[in-house]
Structure 1
Amino acid sequence: MSAGTALPVADAPALRAYVRVLARRHPRLLYGALALHVAAALTALAAPRLLGDLVQAVEQGTTVGHVDRVVAALAAFLVAQTVLTRYARLTSQVLGEQVLAQLREDFVEHTLALPLGTVESAGSGDLLTRTGRDVDQLNWSVRQALPEWTIAVITAVATFVAALSVGWWVALPVLLGLPPLVIGLRWYLARAKDGYLRESASYSRINATLTETVEGARTVEALGLAPERVRAADDDVRESYAAERYTLYLRTVFFPSMELSYLIPTVATLLLGGYLYTQGSVSLGEVTAAVLYVQMLIDPVDRIVSILDELQLGAASLARLLGVAEVPDDRRATGAQPRSEELEARDVRFAYAEGGRDVLHGLDLDLEPGSRLAVVGPSGAGKSTLGRLLAGIHPPRTGSVTVGDVALVDLPLADLRGHVALVTQEHHVFVGTLRENLALAAPPGATDDDIRSALEAVDALEWVDALPDGLDTVVGSGGRALTAPQAQQVALARLVLADPHTLVLDEATSLIDPRAARHLERSLAAVLEGRTVVAIAHRLFSAHDADRVAVVEDGRISELGPHDELVRAGGSYAALWDSWHGGSRS
């Protein structure tokens, strides 16, 4: 991973390999578009030759009929070029749309396959920039820049060959324009990719800072951190300004050098052609055709160079999008199948950052199938981290977390979620109907009765039936807004439909009124009878109902046992219980 971004960026060989893969997926459209562009370019080359012959004929004396025939031929070639160009562009657009669709599908697939630990450590800013600005930039590059650049390259090559057909001498003035062109291109390309990657990375940092500030607005206000957050945003904007100024500097040096390379060949062709004409080596018609062909070269070459700048932006965006696929997987599916549903943690240590401080220190835990464990402790003790390891979200740094003697990281995600599932206080309502939101977790063939049973299990059926369209009510962004408790009940209903054997509930009812949460947890307990449950909560009635209670302090399990036994022991749990229970009665 680069220093500028949390997620990796693909290198040039990876980009070329991916482009080859895309080309092999759409061979007919690709070669069809190229053939049409070549045909369109060839029809455009007839005009300079016809005009040169006409000038020669006028010099030698001609008739009105001959002029009319030349004009008719020019019109016919113009019509043919228009028709061929139209279908060439249409084919290119269809190809571009298919390629873009494939790019989007691959990116979404790779993003969804990212280890959750990587997503959390990378933060939302980088991914938002890649899914937003980078995808938009790639849209333009694939739909507009790449087809236009392809047309320009084909036209330039065909025009140069046509110019040489007039005479070998035309190559000399054309070649005079190559040194400033090549030097400028080499200078620019050596710096452009890194410059545009730096520019994109600066947008990621701006998004990350703004997102963190907005999400923590209340904390920022409460602690008086506004000046610090403003300074952080200013620093990010200054870095973005410097990155954009650098790429602007590259363009202001590069494009003037290109203009010089366009001017030299035209002037040199006129001078050399005029000299050869005075010597009787070439005709006036040949000089005219040569000058017209060289002038025709300016437009495609200018488009090649101009669009190359956009393609550099597109290549930088593609490198960032493909870089998501280079994140190493945090699990290694071995095909081993658990012999039971017993969940075990042995000497588990974990740190969120490589080489960072451990937040869990040598934890050992056994969970018999069907048992219920409550995990309690002060904030920051490591409760949620332990829950995430027990759910297979993160692999331990050392030690192991297994189900049926198979490490959770050795199970494919689809198999893992059949054994262990995690529900946190964070939830998401997707755009669509309520039925579609719930069916995401349902097994194939699930019916409305199954969905309604899951809603009833989490005390949500009453308010769902009260919705205008029931299960067909559109929710999510742009639809009916669900309250935080309702959204949390939807998340819990998904859990019931997913039907895993072991459940890790990380304060999964924290957004629901305490009395309603108490009733909800009792309803869930009846539905989830026989399943293993790990409940991480600050409401200690969950601990009272559990078979065992684990007290986590400073990344270690300091106490483990039944509720009554721990209360009698008079340790940390007894103090927590007395404090909470006494407060709840007051």
Structure 2
Amino acid sequence: MSSLSNAIETKIKPAGHDPVKSDLWKRIYSRLLPYWKVVGLALILVSISSATQPVLAVIMKPLLDGGFTGTNPDYIWSIPLAVIGLMFVRGVTSYGSSYLFAWVANKMLLTLRADMFSRLLGLSDSEFKQGDTGRLLNRFTIDAGTMTGVATEVITVVVRETLTVIALLGVLLYMSWQLTVIVFLVMPASVFVAKLVSRRLRRINRDTVNMNAELTRVVSEAIDAQRVIKLFDGYERENTRFMYVNARLRRFAMRAASADAALSPITQLFVSFAVAGVIFVALYQANTGTLTIGSFAAFMAALGQIFDPIKRLTNITSTMQRMLVAAESVFKLVDQDPEPDTGTREFTQPVRGHIEFEAVRHRFPNSHRDTLSDVSFAVQPGQTIALVGRSGSGKTTLANMLPRFLIPTSGQVRVDGIPLDELSLRSLRSQISLVSQDVVLFEASIGQNVAYGAGADVPPERIWEALEAANLREFVEGLPQGLDTMVGENANTLSGGQRQRLAIARALIKNAPILILDEATSALDNESERQVQLSLETLMKGRSTLVIAHRLSTVQNADQILVLDEGQIIEQGRHDELLARNGVYAGFYQMQFQFNE
């Protein structure tokens, strides 16, 4: 349990330094600028709503001094009508301001999430390899909404309650400046306490955001791995992980609730001293004839009203801390460096598919040895080159350099004589198709998945042709909805072989001159492998192809087989040549042959 807690504690620690608070405020509210007209109108309505509140207190003086004594009979109908009018104006302006601020908050959320998703798609492959899925999802679902929603809430509360407090203080000063001085003496102490509590709340809210991301990750893993959990009896372990995170989240929530709840009684304690002092002085002034009953009632009505807006202004500090913590999380994604795309050249001629790896070396950060060391080879247009070797020998690393998912530490990769770092990523990747062991299909129809990436308005005839070439047409025609059949989440309605052939059909429609096959048949049974292999042979015709394979039966017809070991090419040649040498490749082949026997 201790190792589990240490691992999770390490994961939730915020990385990097804290952004300057003023900079966060500036960045949050800079997103309001495009809507300044709507915000301005909303603030005008808020101001009108705030102005109506002290009028209710002011009415108390004429009501008591003139209305109840009978000296002003008109007050019988004028004061009730004034109250109704004030409440009507207050209701209309309050509704209008709330609606306008909600409109602004949702527009901010719309553009913010669009910026976040655009940056997410632009992150480098290495960023996704870090596997912080829970945090990424949390930023979209919780943090972005918290930041934008609270930003407009803060404006509303600060402007409305500040104006209300100022107006009520004006009433208090007008009624009795001596009594008002007593109220002023209490405010600094209340503000100081609120500042101390807000610091603690910010720390707690940051921990809560991080632990929410951890909760998302644990639940997401449990959903994805539900079969493994059942088969390997992982119920207790997963329950322990979840209960630990769940309990930590509860403790953070209780700490925040404790700090938030303590703020109100402490503030009320200071208020009680102020009220006691006010009553003492008011009674003295009443006995000396300097304060009327109406003036005192109006003063107390204004004083009674002033504590609620002050309380809301005090409580907004905890809300602001949640907003700042959420903003830190959101802007951490927005500020991440996008995938480097320094190339400016585009392919101007049809790509032939001549690929060259020249003295390529690669080492992952913090690794003690090279993944690839001085690898050189060439792929002629239309050739198939197979990469073979033990796990960890550098096959996938080598293939990932072609679409620039990885960048060589030294050396160079060229396509048709153009170094990859001189090509724009969009131009380079438009010429490459990928079919891998881990097929990714979207929760859409079969037709949409096959046509993905081929541009808009792909005619159904082209889709059917691709399905036929992938040996999948008969299966799709047998479905009740044909091309419109939904594949479901993670394509769970399809078998492994069907998913692979859909990926092949997708690659066929793209019709790129360069093809990467990454263990495309390793997870299939023999029958499915034969069907997929037939589809792959159709796909590979006329294309420069890099094949990564553990099953050597799939690479026997390759034009050249490269055997890698510890990041170096130790053998290369055709299948028959390598078998005749009786070297490493022959050993691999004999082991697989004996195993299959």
Question: TM-score normalized by structure 2?
Answer: 0.86
Amino acid at match of 2:320: L
The change in CA–CA distance for 1:468 and 1:225 in structure 2 (over 3 A counts) is closer
Gaps of 5+ in 1: none
* Deviation, structure 1 residue 169: 4.3
Secondary structure of the 1:544 match is coil
Question: For residue 306 of structure 2, what is the aligned residue in structure 1?
Answer: 297
Question: Residues 374-409 of structure 1: CA distance to partner in whole angstroms, max 9, x if unpaired?
Answer: 112222333223222233212234444443455545
Is 1:540 the counterpart of 2:552? The answer is yes
Is 1:359 the counterpart of 2:365? The answer is no
Output the CA distance in 1 between the equivalents of 2:315 and 2:346.
Answer: 57
1:337 to 342, 346, 364: 346
Amino acid at match of 2:125: L
Question: For residue 504 of structure 1, what is the aligned residue in structure 2?
Answer: 516
1:473 to 475, 485, 492: 485
Amino acid at match of 2:476: V
1:371 to 383, 397, 400: 383
Q: Is contact 1:338–1:405 with CA below 8 Å preserved after alignment?
A: no
Question: For residue 50 of structure 1, what is the aligned residue in structure 2?
Answer: 59
1:436 to 404, 423, 448: 448
Question: For residue 205 of structure 1, what is the aligned residue in structure 2?
Answer: 214
Amino acid at match of 1:50: I
Stretch of structure 1 that moved more, 280-289 or 99-108: 280-289
* Deviation, structure 1 residue 218: 6.8
Question: Residues 522-566 of structure 1: CA distance to partner in whole angstroms, max 9, x if unpaired?
Answer: 334334433221111222233112111122222332222222222
Q: How does 1:148-159 map to 2 (within 5 A)?
A: 151-159=160-168
Output the CA distance in 2 between the equivalents of 1:435 and 1:9.
Answer: 47
The change in CA–CA distance for 1:126 and 1:53 in structure 2 (over 3 A counts) is same
Secondary structure of the 2:312 match is helix
Is 1:554 the counterpart of 2:563? The answer is no
Output the CA distance in 2 between the equivalents of 1:565 and 1:140.
Answer: 68
Secondary structure of the 1:345 match is strand
Q: Is contact 1:429–1:476 with CA below 8 Å preserved after alignment?
A: no
Question: Residues 87-128 of structure 1: CA distance to partner in whole angstroms, max 9, x if unpaired?
Answer: 221222222221222222222222222222111114323223
Q: Is contact 1:330–1:395 with CA below 8 Å preserved after alignment?
A: no
1:29 to 26, 34, 38: 38
Q: Is contact 1:331–1:410 with CA below 8 Å preserved after alignment?
A: no
Q: How does 1:123-272 map to 2 (within 5 A)?
A: 123-135=132-144, 137-138=146-147, 141=150, 147=156, 151-166=160-175, 168-169=177-178, 171-209=180-218, 211-212=220-221, 215=224, 236=245, 240=249, 243-244=252-253, 246-272=255-281
Output the CA distance in 1 between the equivalents of 2:365 and 2:221.
Answer: 19
* Deviation, structure 1 residue 146: 6.3
Stretch of structure 1 that moved more, 346-355 or 18-27: 346-355
Amino acid at match of 2:210: A
Output the CA distance in 2 between the equivalents of 1:11 and 1:503.
Answer: 48
Question: Residues 229-274 of structure 1: CA distance to partner in whole angstroms, max 9, x if unpaired?
Answer: 6766666556545544543453354343233344444444444444
Amino acid at match of 2:567: G
Output the CA distance in 1 between the equivalents of 2:180 and 2:409.
Answer: 66
Secondary structure of the 1:482 match is coil
Stretch of structure 1 that moved more, 246-255 or 222-231: 222-231
Q: Is contact 1:391–1:504 with CA below 8 Å preserved after alignment?
A: no
Q: Is contact 1:330–1:409 with CA below 8 Å preserved after alignment?
A: no
Is 1:113 the counterpart of 2:133? The answer is no
* Deviation, structure 1 residue 73: 0.9
Output the CA distance in 1 between the equivalents of 2:462 and 2:274.
Answer: 76
Identity over aligned pairs, percent: 22
Output the CA distance in 2 between the equivalents of 1:227 and 1:542.
Answer: 42
Q: Is contact 1:432–1:474 with CA below 8 Å preserved after alignment?
A: yes
Amino acid at match of 1:110: R
* Deviation, structure 1 residue 70: 0.9
Stretch of structure 1 that moved more, 459-468 or 165-174: 165-174
Stretch of structure 1 that moved more, 229-238 or 94-103: 229-238
The change in CA–CA distance for 1:220 and 1:40 in structure 2 (over 3 A counts) is closer
Stretch of structure 1 that moved more, 1-10 or 399-408: 1-10
Q: Is contact 1:457–1:524 with CA below 8 Å preserved after alignment?
A: no
Q: Is contact 1:374–1:542 with CA below 8 Å preserved after alignment?
A: no
Q: Is contact 1:138–1:314 with CA below 8 Å preserved after alignment?
A: yes
Amino acid at match of 1:131: F
Question: For residue 566 of structure 1, what is the aligned residue in structure 2?
Answer: 578
Stretch of structure 1 that moved more, 404-413 or 81-90: 404-413
Secondary structure of the 1:549 match is strand
Question: Residues 154-180 of structure 1: CA distance to partner in whole angstroms, max 9, x if unpaired?
Answer: 444444445445454464233223223
Secondary structure of the 1:45 match is helix
* Deviation, structure 1 residue 418: 0.9
Output the CA distance in 2 between the equivalents of 1:444 and 1:5.
Answer: 42
Q: Is contact 2:382–2:541 with CA below 8 Å preserved after alignment?
A: yes
Secondary structure of the 1:26 match is helix
Amino acid at match of 2:206: L
Question: For residue 420 of structure 1, what is the aligned residue in structure 2?
Answer: 432
* Deviation, structure 1 residue 12: 3.4
The change in CA–CA distance for 1:350 and 1:305 in structure 2 (over 3 A counts) is farther
Question: For residue 406 of structure 2, what is the aligned residue in structure 1?
Answer: 394
RMSD: 3.5
Is 1:450 the counterpart of 2:462? The answer is yes
Q: Is contact 2:454–2:509 with CA below 8 Å preserved after alignment?
A: yes
Output the CA distance in 2 between the equivalents of 1:456 and 1:159.
Answer: 79
The change in CA–CA distance for 1:555 and 1:263 in structure 2 (over 3 A counts) is farther
Question: Residues 396-453 of structure 1: CA distance to partner in whole angstroms, max 9, x if unpaired?
Answer: 3444444345554554442232133433222333333333333431123422222222
Amino acid at match of 1:299: D
Secondary structure of the 1:376 match is strand
The change in CA–CA distance for 1:381 and 1:154 in structure 2 (over 3 A counts) is farther
* Deviation, structure 1 residue 573: 1.0
Amino acid at match of 1:320: S
Q: Is contact 2:205–2:325 with CA below 8 Å preserved after alignment?
A: yes
* Deviation, structure 1 residue 28: 2.0
Question: For residue 333 of structure 2, what is the aligned residue in structure 1?
Answer: 324
Question: Residues 496-517 of structure 1: CA distance to partner in whole angstroms, max 9, x if unpaired?
Answer: 3333332222123344443443
Amino acid at match of 2:453: A
Secondary structure of the 2:333 match is helix
Stretch of structure 1 that moved more, 468-477 or 246-255: 246-255
* Deviation, structure 1 residue 571: 1.3
Stretch of structure 1 that moved more, 207-216 or 376-385: 207-216
* Deviation, structure 1 residue 284: 3.6
Output the CA distance in 2 between the equivalents of 1:264 and 1:481.
Answer: 70
Q: Is contact 2:497–2:532 with CA below 8 Å preserved after alignment?
A: no
Question: For residue 310 of structure 1, what is the aligned residue in structure 2?
Answer: 319
Question: For residue 80 of structure 1, what is the aligned residue in structure 2?
Answer: 89
* Deviation, structure 1 residue 458: 2.0
Q: Is contact 2:109–2:145 with CA below 8 Å preserved after alignment?
A: no
Output the CA distance in 2 between the equivalents of 1:176 and 1:245.
Answer: 32
Q: Is contact 1:9–1:320 with CA below 8 Å preserved after alignment?
A: no
Stretch of structure 1 that moved more, 543-552 or 397-406: 397-406
Question: TM-score normalized by structure 1?
Answer: 0.87
The change in CA–CA distance for 1:302 and 1:568 in structure 2 (over 3 A counts) is same
Secondary structure of the 1:508 match is coil
* Deviation, structure 1 residue 220: 7.2
Amino acid at match of 1:495: A
* Deviation, structure 1 residue 469: 1.7
The change in CA–CA distance for 1:255 and 1:235 in structure 2 (over 3 A counts) is same
Secondary structure of the 1:474 match is coil
Output the CA distance in 1 between the equivalents of 2:17 and 2:441.
Answer: 29
Output the CA distance in 1 between the equivalents of 2:131 and 2:19.
Answer: 16
Secondary structure of the 2:393 match is coil
